Amino acid sequence: MAEHLLTLTTDFGTRSPFVAAMKGVILNINPAARILDLSHEIPPFDLRHAAFFLAEALPYFPPDTLHVVVVDPEVGSSRALLLVSVAGQRVLVPDNGCWTLLAERYPDSLTVLRVEQQRLFRPQISSTFHGRDILAPVAAYLSLGIPSSEVGPPTHTWRKLDWPTPVHAPDGVHGEIVFVDHFGNLISNIAGSLVSAGSWVGIGSPTAKPKPARLVRTYADASPGELVALVSSSGLLEVAIVQGNAAQQLGAGVGTPIHLG
């Protein structure tokens, strides 16, 4: 376990002082904390974006790394705060389901605690910033080595994020785009393992004619500007425009249908 290490993932941006305030709270409790930014550019309130982000990034970390994840449209309501042990990682997160995609991929050894031990919170709790007032101090104490069990009792109920599953039909697999990366590449929910040499990939509306994307092994197998399909680095079927931005150029995004024939 990487001592004193904790990571931060939020939808706060860094124009605002919120991430900085959380860092201050953490260091005030554990001056030796090693704070690692994962992202503060999760789109505001976008739990599906956060879910994909966590599922793709967290499994690479050392066992038991502590991750603080704050995308929290329901802050101040009665929604719980959780400490989840999943995929060998520890995640401090509002009960919003953004970690359940990760749990589906790594179904073993899940434990979920409710964060309720107020002794670990800041003395004053605002109703709009639990990242600073609850999750940051709890993370700091955990990074000092207190046992996970001290944060609160186990729970067996939590929100589960809906995640679209592809439909297997006689004419192939019908999926949809679930993530658009920084390059505008369109990542689908269709497993790359379903792709074979003679496969056909079409992207776009199921009513209008879908646009065909040529299957390649990597971007460099096609010319700049070409629409291609490939197996992404996360093992999913992906559509890209070589050295271009497929999302912008196709007007596609999360939810756009994709067909593997």
Give the whole-angstrom CA distance, residue 119 versus residue 138: 9
Q: Is residue 38 near its own copies by the rule CB under 8 A?
A: yes
Site for its own copies in 201-220 (CB under 8 A): 217-220
Least separation, in Å, of the C-beta of 187 and its own copies?
Answer: 9
Among 138, 181, 186, 227, binds its own copies (CB under 8 A): 181
Within residues 81-120, the interface with its own copies by CB under 8 A covers: none
CB of 43 to its own copies, least distance (A): 7
Report the site for its own copies in 59-78 (rule: CB under 8 A): 59-62, 65, 73-77
Residue with smaller CB distance to its own copies, 187 or 258: 187
Residue from 6, 47, 48, 58 in contact with its own copies (CB under 8 A):
58
Identify which of residues 113 and 140 has a Cβ nearer to its own copies in the complex.
Answer: 140
When binding is defined by CB under 8 A, the residue of 113, 215, 230, 250 that contacts its own copies is 230
Contacting its own copies within 120-149 (CB under 8 A): 126-129, 132-133
Span 151-170, contacts to its own copies by CB under 8 A:
none
Residue selected from 20, 144, 167, 169 as contacting its own copies according to rule CB under 8 A: 20
Please work out the total of residues on this chain that contact its own copies, with binding judged by CB under 8 A.
Answer: 74
Supply the minimum distance, in Å, between the C-beta of residue 162 and its own copies.
17
Got the DSSP string for the chain? --TTEEEEEES--SSSSHHHHHHHHHHHH-TT-EEEEEES-SPTT-HHHHHHHHHHHGGGSPTT-EEEEE--TTTTSS--EEEEEETTEEEEEESSSTTHHHHHHS-SS-EEEE---GGGS-SS--SS-HIIIIIHHHHHHHHTT--GGGG--B-S----------EEETTEEEEEEEEE-TT--EEEEEEGGG--TT--EEES-SSSPPEEEEE-SSGGGS-TT-EEEEE-TTSEEEEEETTS-HHHHHT--TT-EEEE-
